[in-house]
């Protein structure tokens, strides 16, 4: 009875884990793109075969223990039969089948011709995003059209990072001094969570990003909106002055102003972003003000120093940045 319970628990653990993953925000086994679909199929086949082998081994263990307790003598040549059939023939058949299947499956992942190219550079601990043809720059968010093959050229400015969007694709490393190519394709609109999948230091777990898939029409609308500079209004001039006086422009850029820094994220459209600090906090007025005042309290180790601003200047600066949509 105990052996049977142990067998059921071990056999069901992968299924329970898989079910939990299905209901998560973004998962490799809930694909929304072509590459992810192929990877998901491979995962399910591997799960099924490994579960079958685990069940077979546990079943043989239970049978062996039962026969030993009953004192049943082993048949002549029984050991040799087990070695040949289960130790040689069965592994050969399973591994050969898996090899053939993997060759066919990976052949489906040959990169297609790109409909759009995006440059993504990993930093400790955020992602710089650039659309070279459209002259658009952002951070920690990729907007892509559905049904299109997206070429992502990956770079790193410091250490090795790894770009991974579980629901859309596999993982590709961003290595200093090299340009690696990653492919994305979303078959349906949605917002998909991504992360750095290579340990890269203190805030590795807070180096997340989002891929927002839009219909082709909505994507074109987004591109046209992002091409327009957000020139500050007279009411926002105090916030822009605080931005320049505090030295924020040495690290950050805002299109349409004299701020041209490239050390930190481009802030041209920061008011419309989903998160702050590469997925660390929801983007709203309160969190942005707290981030400006003391970013180390929210994401220790990041390269942005705290700002010693009086409340009036902090309010003006925060309101100005939130208006950049």
The domain segmentation of the chain, as residue ranges, is 2-107, 116-227, 234-322
| Letter string b/e over residues 184-219, b meaning 16 or more CB atoms within 10 A of that residue's CB | bbbeeeeebbbbbbbebeebbebbbbbbbbbeeeeb
Is-contact 244 259, C-beta < 8 A? yes
Half-sphere exposure of residue 54: CA atoms within 13 angstroms, side-chain side: 15
pLDDT exceeds cutoff 50 at 4: no
Query: Pick from 213, 173, 222, 177: which is nearest to 193 by CA?
Result: 213
Which residue intervals of 152-245 are DSSP H helices?
Answer: 216-227, 237-245
**pTM (predicted TM-score):** 0.79
Cα–Cα distance for residue pair 252/18, rounded to 1 Å: 42
Query: Which fold is adopted by the domain 116-227?
Result: Immunoglobulin-like (2.60.40)
Domains 116-227 and 234-322 share a fold: yes
**pLDDT one-digit tens code per residue, 126-179:** 999 999 999 999 999 999 999 999 999 999 999 999 999 999 988 999 999 999
**pLDDT one-digit tens code per residue, 227-257:** 876 666 656 788 888 899 888 989 999 988 8
CATH superfamily of 234-322: Cupredoxins -  blue copper proteins (2.60.40.420)
Tell me the residue length of the chain: 325
pLDDT exceeds cutoff 50 at 22: no
Please compute the mean of the pLDDT values over residues 78-95 and round it to a whole number. Answer: 80
Is-contact 148 142, C-beta < 8 A? no
């Amino acid at each position: 009875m105990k052996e049977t319970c142990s067998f059921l628990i071990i056999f069901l653990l992968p299924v329970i884990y898989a079910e939990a993953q299905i209901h998560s925000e973004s998962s490799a086994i809930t694909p929304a793109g072509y590459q992810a679909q192929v990877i998901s199929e491979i995962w399910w086949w591997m799960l099924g075969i490994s579960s079958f082998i685990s069940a077979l081994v546990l079943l043989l263990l239970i049978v062996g223990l039962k026969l030993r307790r009953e004192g049943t003598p082993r048949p002549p040549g029984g050991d040799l039969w087990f070695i040949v059939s289960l130790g040689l023939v069965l592994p050969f058949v399973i591994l050969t089948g898996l090899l053939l299947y993997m060759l066919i499956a990976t052949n489906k992942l040959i990169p297609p011709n790109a409909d759009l190219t995006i440059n993504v550079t990993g930093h400790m601990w955020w992602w710089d995003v650039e659309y070279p043809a459209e002259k658009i720059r952002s951070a920690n968010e990729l907007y892509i059209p559905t049904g299109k093959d997206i070429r992502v050229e990956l770079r790193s400015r410091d250490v090795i990072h790894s770009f991974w969007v579980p629901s859309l694709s596999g993982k590709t490393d961003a290595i200093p001094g090299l340009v690696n190519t990653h492919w994305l394709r979303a078959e349906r609109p949605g917002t998909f969570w991504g992360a750095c999948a290579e340990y890269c230091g203190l805030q590795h777990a807070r180096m997340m990003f989002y891929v927002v898939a839009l219909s082709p029409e909505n994507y074109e609308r987004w591109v046209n909106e992002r091409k327009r500079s957000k020139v500050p209004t007279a009411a926002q001039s105090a916030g822009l002055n605080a931005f320049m006086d505090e030295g924020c422009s040495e690290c950050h850029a805002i299109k349409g102003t004299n701020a041209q820094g490239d050390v930190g994220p481009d802030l041209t459209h920061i008011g419309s972003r989903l998160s702050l600090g590469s997925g660390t906090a929801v983007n709203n007025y309160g969190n942005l003000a707290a981030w400006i005042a003391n970013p180390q309290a929210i994401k220790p180790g990041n390269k942005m120093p705290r700002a010693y601003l009086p409340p009036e200047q902090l309010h003006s600066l925060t309101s100005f940045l939130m208006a950049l949509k």
